[in-house]
Amino acid sequence: MTKQIEFPKGFYWGSAASATQTEGAAHEGGKGENIWDYWYKTQPKRFYEKVGPEKASGFYYNFRSDIKLLRQTGHNSFRPSISWSRMFPNGFGEVNPEAVRFYNEVIDALIEEGVEPIMNLYHFDMPLAMQEIGGFENKEVVEHYVAYATTCFRLFGDRVKRWFTFNEPIVPVEGGYLYDFHYPNKVDPKAAAQVAFNTLLASAKAIESYHKISDGKIGIVLNLTPSYPRSDNPADVEAARIAEIFCNKSFLDPAVLGKFPEGLKEILAKHDCLPVYSKEELAIMEQNTVDFLGVNYYQPRRVCARETLPNPDAPFMPEYYFQNYEMPGRRMNIYKNWEIYEQALYDIAINIRDNYGNIEWMVSENGMGVKDERRFAKGDYIEDDYRIEFFEDHLYWLNKGILEGSNCIGYHVWTFIDNWSWMNAYCNRYGLVSLNLTTGNRTIKKSGEWFKALHDNNGFSYEGVLPYE
C-alpha cells in the first residue's frame, strides 16, 4: 500500500554539521586549539585509525562549492556550528578577524543559494585555554561563553534569525565526566553535575543576551532518547522513570520549562553530587527559556530494574537506578550497535505537544552511519537505499505526530557530507554526499538525490508498512 506523506508549508529541509567535524584547517586562519586538537595530539591511538580533526571534510577551503551542493541536495536550511576557538583562540579577548571573515562569507554564500543559516554556537569543541581553567566546571568560563555568543549575535545576527546555544549538551557531561569517551576523561559525578548545571546556565544567559539585541529565535539542541521500560512491572517502570529524568528531562525541563525535573535534586543530594548554584542563577534559567527546540534522535533507551546491587564504593552513575535492556528481536544498525525504532520520533512529538507547551521544534539530526559504503558503489555513485528507507520510516512517524498537532517545523539529517566523527574518524559514513578521502572529490549519493525530491515535493510516497493506518 502506498501513502502520500505531505508536510506543512515552509517546512525546513536540510542537515546539520559541526565545525570540528567538517572545517579542517585546525591550525590555520588564526584558530586556537580546542580540546579535540589537543587530545588527538596527546593520545592519537584513541582515535580510529589514528585519524584526527586536522583536515576533516575541508569545508574551510571548499565551502563555496559545498554550499552549492547543499542546494543540489534539496536544502532550504543548514545548521553548521561556529568554532569558539576559531573566533577567540584563547576563548576570550580580541576576536579573530580571519574567523569573522570566514563565517561572514559562509553565511552570505548560504543566503545567496537560498539556504537559511541556522547557526549553532557550541558542538563539543571547548577551546583548550578554557578547558585549562576547568571548562564548564568553572563559572568564569560561563561568562566567557556568553561574551563569545554575544559577539556572534552582533556580528552575524543581521542575517541569521535562528540560533542554537548548544548541541547535545549532555554528551560532554557523559563523555568528559562520567564514561571517559570525551576529553578531559574524568570520572567524577559531582563535576559532571556542575558541568551540566553551568552549561544550562550559560545557555540561559546567552538567550538573555540575545533577546536584548535581536528579535529572532534562539533555542538548544537536545539528543532525546525516550526511555521505555522492559515491562509493566513496577520496578521496570520506576527504572524507566529515573532513566528519563537523567537522560532526557535533566536538560529538557530547564531548557523549555525553566525548572529541573522533580526528583533530580533529591537523587543528586543523596549521592553528594549537587552542583554549586544560587537562587539568582535559578531565576535566570526560569526567565530565559528557549524559543524553539532542536531534537536529535537516533535511538531509544530501553531499561529495566537492576538485577544486581551497585557497588557502594564505585563513583555514582545514573545506572545506579536502572540497567540497559536489549529487547529480543529489535531492529539494529549493526555498524553503531544502535536500535532503529522509528516510532520513538512520534512519541517525542506527542511528548513535546502534551508536556512542553507544544513548543515549536524541529528534528535537528536524524541519520544512519554505515561502515564500508564503497560496497554499495557503482563507480563513485553510492546507492544507499538503506539510508533512504531509514529516513522514510522516521518521516512517516514524524508526519503522524504533526498531523496530531505537534508543532514540528523541520527535519534535518546528519549529515550533508561524510565527515570526521570524533573518536570514530571516518569509520561510519552518514552523508548525503560521498567524500573521497584521497582526492577530496564530492559525489552526491542516491540519498542526496532522494532528499532533493523530498524537498521539491515537500513530501514523498511511502511504500513501507503502514502500522498506524
Which residues does the annotation mark as catalytic? 168, 365
Q: Which set of grid coordinates corresponds to residue 67?
A: 554550499
- How buried is residue 271: exposed, middle or buried, by Cβ count under 10 Å (0-12/13-18/19+)? middle
CA–CA distance, 458 with 469 (Å, rounded to integer): 21
Distances (CA, A) of 313 to 2, 111, 322, 323: 57, 55, 17, 18
- How buried is residue 240: exposed, middle or buried, by Cβ count under 10 Å (0-12/13-18/19+)? buried
CA–CA distance, 417 with 430 (Å, rounded to integer): 7
Distances (CA, A) of 279 to 138, 179, 276, 282, 289: 18, 30, 11, 5, 16
Where do the DSSP E strands lie in 156-269? 162-167, 217-223, 227-229
CA–CA distance, 418 with 55 (Å, rounded to integer): 13
DSSP code per residue over 114-143: T-EEEEES-SS--BHHHHTTTGGGSHHHHH
Q: Which residues pair with 292 in a beta bridge?
A: 219
CA neighbor of 335 nearest in space, from 48, 110, 90, 87 = 48
CA neighbor of 290 nearest in space, from 222, 193, 198, 227 = 222
CA angle 368, 371, 374 (to 5 degrees): 110
CA neighbor of 192 nearest in space, from 46, 18, 318, 47 = 318
Strand pairing report for 217-223 and 227-229:
unpaired
Q: How many Å separate Cα 351 from the centre of its chain?
A: 19
